Amino acid sequence: MGEFQERVPGSTPPPPPPQSTLDATPNVPPPAPRDNPPPPPPLFDPSRMVGIIRRKSLIKDLAAVYHAECLAYCQELLELQRKREEPYADIKTPDNSRKETTRPAKRVKKSR
């Protein structure tokens, strides 16, 4: 690599690469020994269940209020759409007002 590159006077050579991976991370502590087993799971505490049930009922109440509000908005939107379409319903001409005449085919198909 150095053979094919031209050296510019006054430039510094590139820094050398790190020698080993052990020297690059000296501050990492060794893995902890597995002598201590993990603590046992906490015992069942019924007082925590009261809070969970209370939060669950609050969430259900909030969902019911939100659902009722959505239904009210949908009903209002439907009424507005109907009001907007009413004037155009009177102006529309019936589709059957013109009698369409059917022309005979120019070329008759031959039956085989």
Q: What is the DSSP string of 32-76?
A: PPTTSPPPPPPPP-HHHHHHHHHHHHHHHHHHHHHHHHHHHHHHH
71, part of any domain: yes
Residue 56 pLDDT = 96
Domain of 84 in residue numbering reads as 66-90
Output the pTM of the full model. Answer: 0.37
5, part of any domain: no
Structure tokens at 47: 């007082």
75, part of any domain: yes
Q: What is the pLDDT along the chain (112 residues), one digit of tens a residue?
A: 555 555 555 667 677 766 655 555 556 666 665 678 888 877 877 788 888 999 999 999 999 999 999 999 999 999 999 998 877 656 655 565 556 677 777 887 777 7
Please tell me what DSSP assigns to residue 1: -
Structure tokens at 68: 């009722």
Residue 60 pLDDT = 97
